[in-house]
């Protein structure tokens, strides 16, 4: 009976133990089920990363570039001798202010003096010949008048004798013949004097033509002497002098006698990059600075465009006219020009971090319908607007498109994303 009671107790204890084990197992299963649901949610969240986005903005590009430039004289001329000669006078020196038309150099060429003197002497001799020929013509004309008077007298004598010979026996026939021959001789003399006068007049005309030619030669020699005088073609400053009194000057000299530059007005030549050529507006006034006058700003007006790009530098020369009446600026000075950079129409802008660059492409990541999309772009100019740095982009974008604020190639195209609040 005791054994029977012991067996019943043992059986009851075993039942209790099994129930406890089942309860513990059920509790454990319940606890393991909850973490499984949580991890599924976490995995789904990890598959859709949160991305902060910004909107593509359409703005007017408005910035200033600092472009290098060089000041040049408005006019620059090197003065050489036109004829070989010796410097007789040079009243100017380096730095001299000269006016237009002022004598700068006077040369002397002894050979030219000889040529001019010879030409003038020939003119004088020809004029004397012309005067002698004219006097001879007057003498011939006087002799012609005398011959004409004699011809008239001989003609009258012949007419009287001829009239008298009508009465037989009054005039001998021989006398009438002699009178006729006298008339013929007097007429021949008149014709001879006329021929002499015409010949003399022709000689005078030839001498006069010779005089004209000699005068032209003399004038040419005088004009050649004008080449011995170097005159300032415009008002300016002598910036170079390579001759002194007594120096020999020749047209083929390696160095000019003088160099004259107009500096009251200067040219500022700026090499404008190809991308900024559209901002070049003739008539615009631009500011610039020079190292010689720190802290001061000068200005010039855009006047001339090069209309052609340099093949090596891809820049276009643009010229500004700069007033320099006070002479504070000088040719050759380096200038830094505040060049306005503008576009003819608004451009699209994003923050610089929104543009990703790899070895293969430049792109932004547009977020559309909850998915990432890579858009290839070309980077443009950078500017600052409302305290933010922006960069110009060109591509298949539109104002208002949302792009990732920080673009990276780790965010692959087609990835589903969630928008992160700004």
pLDDT tens column, 147-177: 888 878 878 877 877 777 667 766 666 776 7
| DSSP track, 117-139 | HHHHHHHHHHHHHHHHHHHHHHH
pLDDT band at 389, cuts 50/70/90?
Answer: very high
Q: Are residues 115 and 202 in the same domain?
A: yes
- Supply the DSSP symbol for 421: P
Q: Are residues 177 and 265 in the same domain?
A: no
User: In terms of Cα–Cα distance, which of 55, 51, 44, 53 is closest to 418?
Assistant: 51
The residue written with tokens 């610089």 in the block is: 352
Instruction: Write the CATH number for 304.
Output: 2.40.30.170
Domain boundary among 174, 209, 226: 226
The dihedrals phi and psi of 254, each to the nearest 5 degrees, come to -70, -30
How many angstroms separate the CA atoms of 226 and 106, rounded? Answer: 9
**Overall pTM surpassing 0.85 (yes/no):** no
Among 102-106, 196-200, 226-230, whose mean pLDDT is lowest? 196-200
Percentage of the chain surpassing pLDDT 70? Answer: 86
Domain boundary among 281, 312, 342: 342
229-231 vs 298-305, strand pairing mode: unpaired
Q: Which two tokens stand for residue 252?
A: 């083929």
Number of other CB atoms surrounding residue 131 within 10 Å:
12
Q: What is the pLDDT of residue 297?
A: 96
Asked whether residue 44 is domain-assigned, the answer is no
Among 108-117, 224-233, 377-386, 408-417, whose mean pLDDT is lowest? 108-117
Q: Are residues 102 and 115 in the same domain?
A: no
Q: What is the pLDDT of residue 196?
A: 85
Q: Are residues 277 and 378 in the same domain?
A: no
Per-residue burial over 306-325, b = 16 or more CB atoms within 10 Å of its CB, e = otherwise: beeeeeeeebbbbbbebebe
Helix, strand, or coil (residue 224): helix
pLDDT tops 90 at residue 390: yes
How many angstroms separate the CA atoms of 88 and 246, rounded? Answer: 6
Asked whether residue 317 is domain-assigned, the answer is yes
Query: Which positions ≥6 away from 34 have C-beta within 8 Å?
Result: none
Q: Are residues 237 and 102 in the same domain?
A: yes
Domain boundary among 323, 342, 361: 342
Please name the helix (run of DSSP H) or strand (run of DSSP E) that holds residue 267, with its range, or none: strand 258-273
Asked whether residue 331 is domain-assigned, the answer is yes
Asked whether residue 20 is domain-assigned, the answer is no
How many angstroms separate the CA atoms of 24 and 34, rounded? Answer: 16
Q: 64 with 339: CB under 8 angstroms?
A: yes
Residue 398, Cβ density class (10 Å: 0-12 exposed, 13-18 middle, ≥19 buried): exposed
Query: Which positions ≥6 away from 108 have C-beta within 8 Å?
Result: 85, 86, 88, 228
Asked whether residue 74 is domain-assigned, the answer is no
Q: Which two tokens stand for residue 371?
A: 């998915």
Asked whether residue 165 is domain-assigned, the answer is yes
Percentage of the chain surpassing pLDDT 90? Answer: 50
Number of other CB atoms surrounding residue 290 within 10 Å:
19
Q: Are residues 99 and 242 in the same domain?
A: yes
Asked whether residue 120 is domain-assigned, the answer is yes
What mean pLDDT is predicted for residues 379-389? 88
Q: Are residues 208 and 126 in the same domain?
A: yes
Tens of pLDDT, residues 243-258: 999 999 999 889 999 9
- Supply the DSSP symbol for 359: S
Q: 94 with 259: CB under 8 angstroms?
A: no
Q: Are residues 333 and 352 in the same domain?
A: no
Q: What is the pLDDT of residue 201?
A: 84
Q: Are residues 320 and 297 in the same domain?
A: yes
CA 15 → CA 22, 207, 219, distances in Å? 11, 166, 151
Q: Are residues 96 and 152 in the same domain?
A: no
Asked whether residue 267 is domain-assigned, the answer is yes
Residue span of the structural domain in which 250 resides? 81-106+230-256
Q: Are residues 97 and 159 in the same domain?
A: no
What mean pLDDT is predicted for residues 388-407? 94
pLDDT band at 1, cuts 50/70/90?
Answer: very low
Mean of pLDDT over the chain: 84
Q: What is the pLDDT of residue 18?
A: 41
Q: Are residues 241 and 99 in the same domain?
A: yes
Q: 186 with 225: CB under 8 angstroms?
A: no
**How many domains would you assign to the chain?**
4
Number of other CB atoms surrounding residue 348 within 10 Å:
21
């Amino acid at each position: 009976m005791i054994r029977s009671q012991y067996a019943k107790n043992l059986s009851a204890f075993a039942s209790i133990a099994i129930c406890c084990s089942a309860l513990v197992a059920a509790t454990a299963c319940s606890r393991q089920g909850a973490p499984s649901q949580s991890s599924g949610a976490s995995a789904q969240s990890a598959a859709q990363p949160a991305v902060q986005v910004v909107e593509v903005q359409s703005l007017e590009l408005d910035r200033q570039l600092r472009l290098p430039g060089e000041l040049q004289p408005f006019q620059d001329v090197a003065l050489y001798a036109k004829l070989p000669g010796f410097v007789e006078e040079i009243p100017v020196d380096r730095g001299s202010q000269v006016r237009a038309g002022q004598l700068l150099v006077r040369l002397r060429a002894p050979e030219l003096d000889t040529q001019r003197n010879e030409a003038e002497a020939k003119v004088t001799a020809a004029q004397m010949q012309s005067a002698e020929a004219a006097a001879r013509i007057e003498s011939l004309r006087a002799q012609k008048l005398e011959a004409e008077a004699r011809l008239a007298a001989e003609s009258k004598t012949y007419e009287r004798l001829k009239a008298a010979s009508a009465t037989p026996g009054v005039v001998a026939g021989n006398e009438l013949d002699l009178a006729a021959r006298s008339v013929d001789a007097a007429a021949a003399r008149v014709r001879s004097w006329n021929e002499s006068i015409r010949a003399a007049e022709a000689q005078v005309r030839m001498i006069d033509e010779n005089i004209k030619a000699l005068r032209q030669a003399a004038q040419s020699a005088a004009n050649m002497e004008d080449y011995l005088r170097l005159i300032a073609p415009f008002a300016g400053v002598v910036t170079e002098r390579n001759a002194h009194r007594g120096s020999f000057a020749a047209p083929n000299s390696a160095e000019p006698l003088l160099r004259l530059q107009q500096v009251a007005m200067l040219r500022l030549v700026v090499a404008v990059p190809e991308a900024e050529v559209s901002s070049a507006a003739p008539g615009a006034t631009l500011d610039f600075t020079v190292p010689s006058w720190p802290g001061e700003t000068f200005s010039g007006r855009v006047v001339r465009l090069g209309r052609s790009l340099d093949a090596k530098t891809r820049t276009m020369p643009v010229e500004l006219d700069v007033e320099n009446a006070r002479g504070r600026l000088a040719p050759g000075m380096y200038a830094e020009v505040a060049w306005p950079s503008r576009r003819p129409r608004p451009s699209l802008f994003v923050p610089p971090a929104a543009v990703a660059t790899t070895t293969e492409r430049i792109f932004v990541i547009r977020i559309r319908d909850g998915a990432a999309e890579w858009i290839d772009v070309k980077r443009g100019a950078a500017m600052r607007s409302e305290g933010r740095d922006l960069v110009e982009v060109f591509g298949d974008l539109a104002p208002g498109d949302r792009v990732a604020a920080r673009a990276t190639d780790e965010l692959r195209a087609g990835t589903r994303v969630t928008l992160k609040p700004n």
